[in-house]
Structure 1
Amino acid sequence: MPPTSNEWLDPAAAAPDATARFYDAVAPGYDAQVDGRTDVDNLRLREAFCQRVAAAAGPGASILDFGCGTGIDAAWYAARGHRVHAYDLSPGMMAVLRERCSGEIAAGRITTAAGPLEAMERALGAGDPVAAIAANFAVLNHVQDPGPLLQRLAVHLQPGSALVANVLNPFYGRDMRHGWWWRSALRSLGQGAIRMEGRVTTYRHFIGSLRRAAAPAFAIESVCTADGRSLFGSLGANHLFVQFRRRS
């Protein structure tokens, strides 16, 4: 579906970016893989994350869904009265979102941008900053150095408001049983994150590294698992919820 008047699609979105190409390729089957009927854990994870973001934003407030994927979260927010700015690096993922959320887009409840980060920044333009930013399902783990990205996102967030990120736990107990985790950890010494090679590269950032990267625009307000356990009880959780607070 071609972009409507409230959507942006950057012509540079077709640039040879490995992460974008990966998600373009998996977009048609992404929902079945991540939120399939048998994957109850991911469904609970998504619900807990969306509830946390909605609470951080406040009733009816605007949300930037950063790394929005196929639009499941964006549709959830819009159905509960939020105005959503949905952005994703992958045009393929955005195509699925535009089909899923065509009614919300037509009504102006969801606006979209796809491609390089500049497309999102142009779409947001000089409009009012959003009340919350959501980055679900390890979006920040695709970024080797999240510091510059967090500084750019801060410009579009109201002072005192929250950015909520779902990040991969660098010390997930099940992964630490395997030799590949230890080999990756040893290769990544001193880098602030454990670099994991695969079809797409991810960086499992340490919380201390995220804290330093977030300054001076953000402070980390809380770190917990989806069921509310603190960082010290997180070995059994593959995902952590990190809430950043925008400094005034």
Structure 2
Amino acid sequence: MQNLTLRHIHYTQLDPTTWCATAKVSSQLPLRLGSKPQQPLAPNILYSYPIKLHSFYWRHCPFQTPLSAIKDAANKRQQQRNGVRLLLQNLLSKLAIIDTLDDSQFPYRLKNSRYYVCFSHSVNSRLNDKVAVVISHRRPVGIDIETQDVAWQVAQRFYHPSEIAILAELSIEQRIIISKYLWQIKESFIKVYHYKLAQGLGMDYTCLIPALINSFTQESRSPIIINASKTGYQIAILPFQQTVIVF
């Protein structure tokens, strides 16, 4: 069983019925009573000793077998699942809302108050993820938190040709930032409309790029709000939380 801890929690109100929270979540396996924390071992050599064999000395270097990739990935998914739900409970407590999550179908909602709920998570390190949650009473919402940049080759593969044409004209620094914002916007709309991944990433959001470029020049800790008029939604960019919300 994992013990999860939330750190660096940030709360943001986007409109009268929409709130979001972001945090870092870390896990630690509980220690048995009286036991001491074990120091991490080297990945290959744990200990060695000489063995005399036919007058030659050999060094035997046994090593500890790590968790299988499948088991490790399953543990990571479970930590992320538990982490976003823990953050949701933290946000509800902050807002004095007593309710439980109905995740039996999309979009997720709170059972009693019927707030829409959306989660996101991003891997920061093996035992330390970033998690995010948004709730809104008006309509389905989307959220995406990303710690990694989007490779230009990936953008060229998935983005709309009109977007690629504009991005190619930007400076490298601008292209990196805007490509990432576009990815997060696309991921958020995928969660709102339940697009398939390739379909959602291929949507044309060229009309948003000028506003994204303008937001790139702003140095504010307040949310940067962009009107996505064609969709009827608004987009909030939280640069310091590496988070984008469609609400």
TM-score by length of 2: 0.30
Which structure has more relative contact order (CA 8 Å, sep 6+)? It is 1
Higher relative helix content: 1
Higher relative strand content: 2
